[in-house]
Chain A
Amino acid sequence: MSSTPMSTTRTRLRPRRSWTPGQIVLTLLGAAVSAVFVAPIAAALLTSLKSEAEAAEIPPHWVPEVWTGQAWKALFDTGNITNWFVNSLVVSVCVTVVVLTVSALAGYGFARTEFKGKSVLMAVVMAGLMISPAVLGVPLFTTVQQMGMVDTYWGMILPQCAPAAMVFILYKFFQGIPREMEEAAFIDGAGRWRVFFTIILPLSRPSLAAVGIFTFISSWNNFLWPYMVTNNPDLMTMPNGIATVMNSYGIQWAQLMAGGLMAGLPLIIVFVFFQRQIVAGVAHTGLAGQ
């Protein structure tokens, strides 16, 4: 039914692709605003290629007078940056895997199965949307301390693994899958778990990808919780190590910028390649909160 209006808009869009005055103005404006957004990252990159002396020069300048990889070399020679990178990777991957597993199971359980106390539990999970390490930092820390998990991977990973928001997103998605699809399989003698793994999960790939991407980004970038739970420089994650260790012995700007880029660029590079999926994922997880 939509074929006629579609084709008319298509044909009308084509000629508009030429450079009308309006498009020229908009594109120039877009380029200018983009330049403002990229400038701080570009400045950080250029500064990381200056010597420490030049990075602290007054007045400052954008482009290095002498290009040098000194700061990057010092970063790898002196610091624990490779350790931090590996720690970040381990923590974010574990958090993402656990969150995907538990929230997919829970989302399905709440959406499609019946058990005693379901509605009460659902309300409790919804209340969990309001709790974060920023809100309950000190009691959460003492709990983890009681469990003997301070300064361990477990202590960093597990408290990030109960995001009520992700359960809620998947719960809403599973509710939208037609029941007939499951019932046909039940008639054929399949059990709950079989239906979940062979019918529900394959249908939910886009939603699972969205949840996975969003979880990985927030875990990779998480500062507050790793900051509270670990003081051991060998166990720190990237954002945490850069902020605490590199800031503590007199700031060396060129090195700090190099370290920051090493923490930030992986996600930006991944974004360039998977832009469509990530944009859909972030928009999907955000919009599901409506």
Chain B
Amino acid sequence: MTTTSPETVVVPARARAAAAGATVRRKQGFQHGGWFVAPFLAVFALFVIWPLLRGLYLSFTDANISGEGAGFVGLDNYREALKDSAMWDALGHSAYFTVLVVPCITVLAFLLAMLAHHIERAKWLWRLCFFAPFLLPSTVAANMWQWLFTQGIGLFNQTLGLDTPWLTDKSYAMPAIVIQTLWWTVGFSFLLYLAALQGIPGHLYEAAKLDGANAWHRMIHITLPMLRNITGLVVALQILASLQLFDQAVVMMDFSPGPELSTRSFVQYTLEQGFTSYRVGYASAMSIIFFVIIAVVALARMWLLRTREEGAR
């Protein structure tokens, strides 16, 4: 709406403006372009690029936390990491968590969005209730559930009539973290689905109704196909976030690695190596390995998107 008025003013002078504008733009841009990006690049270089390069360098050394007297050890840290069963266990726990959380959160977010979209009254109330937990700090949400899950004094078992040792048995510890995470973070994906649902043009449904399609068919043939892109996004964001599991796991387990080390995530193991064992070189090698894993996931998604776009064409 705001775009129409200046445009009508420009139209008579369009040709002249385009010609003059092009030269002005090039000249001005050459002078100032770099200055626009400079402040961001300065912060970015100091706190993203430099740590990455430094991490790469440290990963070839036996540096400790003081950063002094680091000797070059070649690929030793990487060799050790690949043979370190504790690292593979930690990576396994993060992967296990991801495999449990991602499908559950995607389905749950979709169902909640359908529910909130189709109830006609008090829409703000459903949105508020489903989204509110996401606004809590990770540690607060984790403390709440730590208390709900504690055997004896916890209301979770009490309400469901169970006596499950959620936080102290290795087969229940990770599922407890998964339940907490679903409750805490589903609101974000729920909002993405809700926005996508609201973006589906109503005339598609009207037309389908005129053709005699029932509610089920409308969902299968209109809603689900229209939500394909957003599902891809939700799944990708959730995989990347879940692999970085840390906050809720350590807080729910009182900063321990969980019963029989069963909830020690990759991030937690890396930080233990760096800050508890003071093996900065080794921890850096693991950070680089983790960066490569995350990059592979992110690149795989970009590749999938591209092939699908080409397939659509």
Contact = CB atoms under 8 A, between A and B. Distances in A.
A268 B129 CA distance: 10
Given A58-B153, A109-B36, A257-B144, A224 B247 contact: yes
A2 to B, nearest CB: 9
A183 B20 CA distance: 9
Interface in A96-124: 98, 101-103, 105-106, 108-110, 112-116, 118, 121, 124
A114 B17 CA distance: 19
A162 B47 contact: yes
State the majority secondary structure of interface residues on B.
helix
B271 A41 contact: no
Nearest to A37: B129
B22 to A, nearest CB: 9
B135 A217 contact: yes
Interface string B32-68: 1111110111011011111110110010000101010
B140 A253 contact: no
B171 to A, nearest CB: 23
Majority-rule SS of A interface residues? helix
Contact of B28 (A37, A191, A247): A191
Interface residues of B, number: 115
A181 B17 contact: no
A146 B153 CA distance: 46
A29 interface: yes
Contact of A264 (B17, B137, B202): B137
Interface residues of A, number: 113
B216 interface: no
9 contacts: A33-B129, A102-B39, A103-B40, A105-B40, A114-B25, A183-B25, A243-B139, A253-B153, A287-B230
Given A136-B51, A142-B67, A183-B17, 17 more contacts: A41-B132, A59-B152, A102-B39, A105-B36, A106-B41, A115-B34, A130-B295, A138-B287, A141-B275, A162-B44, A180-B14, A182-B21, A182-B25, A187-B20, A192-B36, A239-B137, A267-B135
Interface of A: 5, 9, 16-17, 23, 26-27, 29-30, 33-34, 37-38, 40-41, 43-44, 47, 55-60, 62, 98, 101-103, 105-106, 108-110, 112-116, 118, 121, 124-125, 127-132, 134-146, 158-159, 161-162, 164, 167, 178-184, 186-187, 191-193, 196, 203, 217, 220-221, 223-224, 228, 238-240, 242-243, 247, 253, 256-257, 260-261, 263-264, 267-268, 271-272, 275, 279, 282-283, 286-287, 289-290
